[in-house]
């Protein structure tokens, strides 16, 4: 029974699968993709700044947030390509064109893959804290060793032990009253432990350095100061290998400027977007 035929482009299914939320009043679509760890809520402080001028599309990767975890397929999501397929399917489902794709962390590379597969669909890429490869390799400094990443996987394991999966439905059932969920658990980063650990492997053991050179759309690389996950040298590497990309180093520290410094993040993205042809 291994045969799967495709259902004719079912917009509804994509919207449900990836918990797609559309807002904003403009025509030009901006799609925001969250990184490893949390969900589309990561963009909560940034998105309002673009809703007056753009059609804003938010979504959760399968396995994160309120996506349909039953759509998780280890084979499909065994590389970032599976996630890029989802991005393209959402674009097709919503009939988006000239998309400005804003990807945080691992989603920066997912955006690169999607834009390389269907360049006509995208107007520009904004890569926030990107890394094409996390593990050091010869002269390339990704910032991590294989042993470090094993440490992360064991950290995930310890943490998910405490996150009763039985709790998830309770929270899911109260999405209109988030305060109920907040009382219960670390609800913003809830995810299926098995999926999270697989996603971590795919993210941190992946190597997408060769995909950078193929990018043909205008690209902004946003680099944080003192980001242990995507250090300066990695951001600079991404900038150097994507033709005609811009490189902006922010004052914000850490890996999530969209949360720690939303105003600076908005400012950098706006300057880039406004200057697009």
What is the set of active-site residues?
105, 227, 255
Q: Decide if residue 171 touches another protein (CB under 8 A).
A: no
Tell me how far apart the alpha carbons of residues 52 and 258 are, in angstroms, rounded to a whole number: 18
Binding to another protein by CB under 8 A, coded x per residue (else -) over 22-61, reads: -------------xxxx--xx-x-----------------
Q: Decide if residue 244 touches another protein (CB under 8 A).
A: no
Please, what is the minimum distance in Å from the beta carbon of residue 116 to another protein? 25
Q: Decide if residue 189 touches another protein (CB under 8 A).
A: yes
Q: Decide if residue 8 touches another protein (CB under 8 A).
A: yes
Helices 146-162 and 193-205, axial angle in degrees (round to 10): 170
Tokens 């991005």, residue located = 87
Please, what is the minimum distance in Å from the beta carbon of residue 92 to another protein? 15
Q: Decide if residue 5 touches another protein (CB under 8 A).
A: yes
Q: How far apart are the first and last CA of the chain?
A: 50
Quote the Cα angle for 211-91-229, to 5°: 45
Which residue, among 194, 189, 174, 205, has the nearest Cα to 256 in the 3D structure? 189
Nearer to another protein, 199 or 272 (CB): 199
Tokens 């997912």, residue located = 110
Distance of CA 70 to the CA centre of its chain: 20
Out of 185, 236, 247, 249, the residue judged to bind another protein by CB under 8 A: 185
Q: Decide if residue 251 touches another protein (CB under 8 A).
A: no
Q: Decide if residue 169 touches another protein (CB under 8 A).
A: no
Q: Decide if residue 68 touches another protein (CB under 8 A).
A: yes
Out of 27, 70, 244, 277, the residue judged to bind another protein by CB under 8 A: 70
Nearer to another protein, 25 or 251 (CB): 251
- Provide the binding-site residues for another protein, judged by CB under 8 A: 1-8, 10-13, 35-38, 41-42, 44, 68, 70, 74, 105, 144, 148-159, 161-162, 182, 185-189, 204, 227-229, 253-256, 259-260
């Amino acid at each position: 029974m291994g045969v799967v035929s495709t259902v004719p482009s079912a917009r509804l299914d994509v919207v449900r699968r990836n918990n797609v939320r559309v807002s904003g009043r403009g025509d030009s679509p901006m799609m925001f993709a969250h990184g490893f760890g949390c969900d589309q809520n990561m963009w909560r402080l940034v998105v309002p700044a673009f809703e007056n001028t753009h059609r804003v599309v938010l979504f959760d990767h399968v396995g994160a947030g309120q996506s349909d975890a039953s759509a998780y397929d280890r084979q499909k999501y065994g590389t970032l390509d599976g996630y890029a397929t989802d991005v393209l399917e959402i674009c097709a489902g919503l009939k988006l064109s000239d998309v400005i794709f804003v990807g945080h962390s691992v989603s920066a590379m997912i955006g690169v893959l999607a834009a390389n597969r269907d360049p006509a669909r995208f107007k520009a890429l904004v890569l926030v804290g990107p890394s094409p490869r996390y593990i050091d390799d010869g002269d390339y400094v990704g910032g991590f060793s294989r042993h470090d990443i094993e440490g992360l996987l064991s950290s995930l394991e310890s943490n998910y032990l405490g996150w009763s999966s039985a709790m998830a439905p309770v929270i899911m059932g109260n999405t209109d009253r988030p305060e109920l969920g907040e009382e219960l658990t670390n609800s913003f980063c809830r995810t299926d432990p098995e999926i999270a650990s697989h996603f971590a492997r795919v993210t941190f053991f992946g190597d997408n350095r060769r995909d950078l050179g193929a990018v043909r759309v205008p690209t902004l690389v946003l680099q944080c100061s003192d980001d242990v996950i995507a250090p300066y040298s990695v951001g600079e590497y991404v900038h150097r290998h994507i033709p005609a990309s811009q490189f902006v180093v922010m004052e914000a520290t850490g890996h999530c400027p969209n949360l720690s410094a939303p105003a600076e993040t908005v400012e950098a993205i706006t300057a880039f977007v406004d200057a697009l042809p």
